[in-house]
Every structure is written in C-alpha cells, then in structure tokens.
Chain A
Amino acid sequence: MLKKSISFPYLLWMIIFVIVPLGIMVYFAFTTSGGSFTFENIEKISQYTPIFIKSINLAIIATIICFFISFPLAYILSRASDNYQRTSMLLLMLPMWMSFLLRTYAWMTLLENEGLINKFLGLFNIGPVQMINTPGAVVLGMVYNYLPFMVLPLYSIMAKIDNSVIEAAQDLGCNIFKVVIKVLLPLSLPGIITGITMVFVPSVSTFIISRMLGGGQNMMIGDLIEQQFIGSTYNPNMGSAMSLILMVIMLVVMGITSSLDDDEREGIVI
C-alpha cells in the first residue's frame, strides 16, 4: 500500500509532462494548421530524407568512434588502482561541469580558419585547413560531448568483471585479442548497449553542435525541427511530424540493440 502512495506523485508528473505532451505532439503531427486530420505532414517529410540519412550517419559514426575510444579506456580504468580510477573519473567528468554551449564554443575557436590550430599549422606554412563547418567537425563535437556517456556504463560493468575470469580465458589458451572477443565483449554487452543508446540518441537529435560546428551546410534533424518552431518556416504541425518520425527511428535502434542483449541472456552469442 505504501509503495502505491509513494509512486503517485511520480505517476502524476509523468502523466502531465510525458504522456500529455506526447499526445499533443501526435495530434499536431496528424492535423493541419486549421485542425483537420491529415497525413500530409508525414508524407512531406520524404523531401527531407537526405537530412535524416545524414543525421543518422553522423550519429552512427560518432557512436562507433566513442565506442572504440571508450572500450579500452574503460577496461584500463576498471583494472587500475582505486586512486587512479577516482582521479581519471574526475578528469573525465570535469568538462561536463561546464556549460555545453561553452564547450562547443571553445571548439569553434580552435577549429576556425583563423583559429588556434590553423595558426599553429601556419607556423609550419601549412594550411589554413578547412576544419570548421565540415561533417568531421560535427562528429568531433558529438564525440567530445558524449564520450563520458559511453565510458561510464562500460566502466561500471567492467569493474564488476572479476580479474580471474580474464585469467581463466588466458589459461584456456586465449591471447589478448581472443580474450576481448570471447569474454570481455560478451560480458560487457549490457554496458555497451546502454552506452550506444546514451550516445546515439542525443547525437542524432542535436542541433547546437551541428549549427555551431557544422555551419549551414551540415543541417541535421534537430536543426530542421527547431526551424519549424522558432525559425523562419514556422510550422509546428510539420515539426511534430518530424519529431514523431525521429522517435520511431530511435525506438527501432533501441529495439535492435536490446534484442542483442536478449540473445546474450540465452547464451547464444559465441
């Protein structure tokens, strides 16, 4: 009984701030500005397909880079001494205590044609190299901002893997590469899935990073949706439809990744 009464405020909160807005969004997505039912908004999205594909591509690239940086790092951290672990974790989290905007501005000043990196390269008569306003800069911004979201779940699951399990794999003939493939990867799969979700979802829907580091040419879904609400092409019905499609895409991605996890529980992987 106690449980029920405690959960009530949360339930109320979720209804007001999650369920109801979702309903409003779905309503807008399927209506015209006049209020009559239509599929037109959804149909019109097809003209933005290239932007959707580009967004998903960049987010996937950023997620993959994050994974390959984080996996070894998380493993090293999980095997290090307590002091080393604490210090490294602090250093990793420290940038997150600063404003997201500020961090991205900092990259702007670094990457600009007149920026620090190009000035440095200029000393050796190289460049200026075009770095800002490229898809690479957008991916860099995503990796830089969302890396901790990949490291943390990986680290916390790897810290639970007993060293003797890794030694057992070596004992049974695995070199380092095989230890990773046959033991470390399958055992940290739940952390990998969380990490992928935590990096992919904000990456695919970001609009600040793409605007600041990607310039006009590297528009992403987030920018597109923002334009529908506060930009020049004011059209909240269209914006809602785009948001709905984005949600569906994310649901599909999460469905695929978590089905991997189910397989793992059945012991089929490997």
Chain B
Amino acid sequence: MSTENKLMELKNITLSYDGEKILDNVNLYIRDKEFVTFLGPSGCGKTTTLRIIGGFASAEQGDVYFEGKRINDVPAYKRPINTVFQRYALFPHLNVYDNVAFGLKVKKMDKKEIDQKVRKMLEIVNLKGFEKRRITKLSGGQQQRVAIARALVNHPKILLLDEPLGALDLKLRKEMQIELKNIQQQLGITFVYVTHDQEEALAMSDTIVVMKDGEIQQIGTPEDIYNEPKNAFVADFIGESNIFDGVMINDYLVQFSGSEFCCVDSGFGENAPVDVVIRPEDVNIVAPNTSMLTGVVENVVFKGVHYEVTVLCNGVEWLIQTTKHQEVGNEVGLSFGPDDIHIMKRLFNDFDSKVKGKVISENEIEFLGITFTRENLGLQEGQEVLLTIDPKQIQVVSEDHADMIVYLESMVYKGAYNEMIVWATHKETQEAVNLLIHSMNDEQIATDIGIKFNFDSIKISPLEVKGE
C-alpha cells in the first residue's frame, strides 16, 4: 500500500469516558478518494473514532491531521467534512429541499447556484419531485437519501457515514450499498463508513479497519482481511470460521482437533499455544477414514447456494459449506490442504490464567480482592504466590452469585466452548489482570459478567521473595 495522498491521519489517539478507555492508541490514515470502513462490534470505538474525525469529540491524547495540518482544535463547523448521522438527524421543521439546501444557505451561496446544486443532488439520490415533501412524510429509505444528499451537496473532502443503513430492511440495504458505492465513485469523495455488518464492509470498502475494545485489530483490503485475518477475533468477526485451540509443535507442524497436521506457518516456537482458523468453504467432505479426520454429521442447514453442515469430530464442532447434501448421523471424513490452515497468535497467549496472590493467614490466600482457604497450605503468612487457574474451572454465573464481576473483552467460539477473555480488576488496588475462561455460556461482549472460581482446582506455587 502506498502512503501517498494521506488526506487524514490519526496519531496515537486515546480517549476515556467515565474511567473506561474508549480508544486506546489508535493510529490510521485515510487516503484521498478512498472508501474506508471502520468495522467492529458495538462498543468497539468505531463511532467515537468517526466523531473525532468529524470534530464532535476530542481526543485526550494524540493528534488529528488533515492535509498535513493539525486540526485538533478546529471545531466541527469549520471542517470540510460532512456527516450522515445514524438516525439521519434531518431538520423536522424544513422540507426536503430546504434540508438539502441548509449547508449551502449557511455558507451564503448565491440562490441560483443553490437551486442548481440542490436539484442536481436530489436527482443523484433519486428524489426528484420530492422537493416540497415534509420530512415526516418520507419513508426510512427516502429519509436516508435526504441525509446523504444534505451532506454531499456541500461537496465535502470527506463524508462520514455512521451506520447509515442500519435502520433499513435487508433488500433496501443491499440496494443502497450499491448506490452508495456508485455515488462515491461518481463524485470522487472520500467516504469513511462505520458499520458492524461485515458483509456490508466487504462489499463496499477499499480499506477495512477492524476494531475491538478501542484498539485497531487489523487494517487491510477486504481480501487481505478475509484471507489473512491477523487473529481469532478478526477471523471470527469476518465471515464464518472454524476457530480451534491448537499447539504449534514445531515449525510447519500443528496439533488441533485431536490430530497433527502439516501447515505452511512457522516462527511461533515449539509447543506454543496458537489459534487455528479454517474457513468452512475450504473444508471438503470425503468418504470416512480416507482422511485424517472422521466425524458424525450433527446438523444440516440449507442456505440457498450451499448447505451448512456441522460435523462433530473428536469432541469439536466443524462448520463446513458444501453443495452436496449430507444426512444427519452419517459418518464423514474431512479433508483440507496445508495452506487452508491459518495459524494465529492467541489473543490470550497462554494455556492457563496466572494471577499473583498472597498468603494472608495460615490457610488463607487472597487474590484480586477475594480470599479462599486451602487446608495444609504450609506457607508463611505474607508469602507471595502464583496462582494458575484452569480456564475450565471458572464458571460464568449471574452477578449476584458471583465471586467477582469482570468485564468481558472478547468471546470466540472454539468448536466446543466459548473462549472468553475477561478483564478483572482488584477492588482496592485497581490492579487489573486478564483471565481466560472456557464456558458454554453465550454472553454479550463489552459488558460486565459474573464469574465463580473452583478454588480447589487452583494450583498454588510460591514466588521467590526478592532480596532474600
């Protein structure tokens, strides 16, 4: 990718709200005439990033550059940027024509010129003849077009679109996607688009920025992001994926789903925990016992172009897309090539959670503000210990039965369980650690959940006290 034509650049943008980090060191640039999409689940910071570009929010740290000039302190109304808001935000006291003409009238443009531009823009968005219509008398799709026309008529350098198609039904959404892309190419304006819909992002964008928890996960073309996802989160979010816990035994040799496979990746080290991603369209169904993996068909769903088949294989569910129908209960073999296996660094780079604790009395240990007893501990009071917690030995429970409340940072289905990474904060010291959980529960990410430990299963090893 060339770095020329940088129209807009964000450098080290950080922003917190109520003590919660919304954006964490965001760095990106937008090229002229590019269609950039910020993609991520709700609460990932994509709208906030858009608001920083538009001038509706200001970064606590970091700089915003436009055409090489720092514009942190330039207010929204002075930026050559226009926005299509999430719920359109049309002016209810004005008709269609006056809504579209609003920006030009504020700029005190000549009346004839305004008229010409507004009529041309209404033609582009297919609203000719609606000039005198009241906003409240329009359908969602029509309001959407007015919002786009109102922003585009000012011929901004950048058009920001905040989930503009979110309120429309599927068919209209698809039509508008094509239309928006056409308008963008026709007018040659840079579009910055925010969505949580990965299909929309893949269909429209030149560049996709995948975000999670206020951090950029990956920036690339739609093809890059789909074919070479950087981690399990991106793979899970973009398209359907089989994601498994694996162990990189050696370079070019990986173990997962109960077998060892050759692959094309290297450089992870020996016996390293990795995530393995295989796209469902890359797996072929073959006769049982002719390949390394054999399993039983659990579920078949017809999707129009293909069937989506779930195969249970060594206790792990595989999702496979195939054009051939399979009977539920049949035994089948699964085959795929070494280059279909994508190896990624784990989001949580270990097999177990490791937390520091402290012996506070004869048989009692404290960690993260909670205490538990262990008979015959045999350690001195004040001794610091390292606790190793098996991810299967933490339960997700309702908040009133929980040992502690934690923040769910990410959740990825790994074929047999959801791998959750949570952010646990010590009530008093505010010290925070990541914990790994394997759970059958489905939870909403970027929310608080309750967890319960199986204290008997926690491994305790004393830490050496420094200086003794």
Contact = CB atoms under 8 A, between A and B. Distances in A.
B383 interface: no
A171 B83 contact: yes
Interface in A211-270: 264, 267, 269-270
B87 interface: yes
Nearest to B160: A171
B89 A162 contact: yes
A86 interface: no
Contacts of B94: 267, 270
Q: Which of A173, A267, A270 has the most CB of B within 10 A?
A: A173
B87 A183 contact: no
B268 interface: no
A182 B106 contact: yes
A174 B86 contact: no
B82 A269 contact: no
A173 B93 contact: no
B93 A168 contact: no
Nearest to B102: A172
B192 to A, nearest CB: 13
Interface string A154-176: 00000000101101111111110
A186 interface: yes
Contacts of B150: 168, 172
Residue among A162, A168, A174 having the largest count of chain B Cβ atoms under 10 Å? A168
Interface magnitude class on chain A = 20 to 34
B77 A267 contact: no
Of A162, A167, A171, A267, most buried by chain B (CB within 10 Å of CB) is A171
A189 B92 CA distance: 12
Interface residues on B, range: 20 to 34
Contacts of B85: 164, 167-168
B98 A173 contact: no
A171 B82 contact: yes
Given A162-B89, A173-B103, A167 B95 contact: no
Interface string B48-68: 000000101000000000000
A178 interface: yes
Contacts of A172: 77, 82, 102-103, 106, 150-151, 154
B106 A270 contact: no
A61 interface: no
B330 to A, nearest CB: 54
Nearest to A163: B89
A269 B92 CA distance: 12
Given A172-B103, A183-B91, 15 more contacts: A165-B92, A167-B76, A167-B85, A168-B91, A168-B150, A171-B151, A172-B106, A172-B150, A173-B106, A173-B107, A182-B102, A187-B91, A189-B93, A267-B94, A267-B98
Interface of A: 162, 164-165, 167-175, 178, 182-183, 186-187, 189, 264, 267, 269-270
5 contacts: A167-B85, A171-B76, A172-B102, A172-B150, A173-B103
Q: Which 3 A-B pairs have the closest CB atoms?
A: A172-B103, A164-B89, A168-B89
